[in-house]
Amino acid sequence: MRRRVVTFVLFVAVCSLLVWLFEQRLSLDQLIAHESWLRQQVHEHPARSCLLGFVFYVAASLIPGTAGKSIVYGWVFGLAISVAIVTLALTLAATVSFCFSRYILYEVIHQRLGLYVARIDRALERGGGFYLFTMRLVHVPYTLTNYAMGVTTIRASSFIWATLFGMLPGTCVLAYAGSQLPTLRMLAERGVLGVVSPQLMLAGTLLAMAPIVVRIFLRRFGFSRSRSEPS
User: What is the CA angle 110-135-109, rounded to 5?
Assistant: 10
The pLDDT of residue 158: 92
pLDDT over 70, % of the chain: 72
Number of domains making up the chain: 1
Q: In terms of residue numbers, what domain contains 98?
A: 2-228
**pTM for this model (two decimals):** 0.75
pLDDT digits (tens, 9 = 90+) for 87-105: 999 999 999 999 999 999 8
pLDDT over 90, % of the chain: 26
Neighbouring C-beta atoms of residue 212, cutoff 10 Å: 11
Sign, CA torsion 135/136/141/144:
positive
Query: Does 197 have pLDDT greater than 70?
Result: no
What b/e sequence results for 165-203 when a residue is b if at least 16 CB atoms lie within 10 Å of its CB, and e otherwise?
ebbbebbbbbbbbbbbbbbbeebbeeeeeebeeeeeeeb
* Band of pLDDT at residue 231, cut at 50, 70 and 90: very low
What is the overall mean pLDDT for the chain?
79
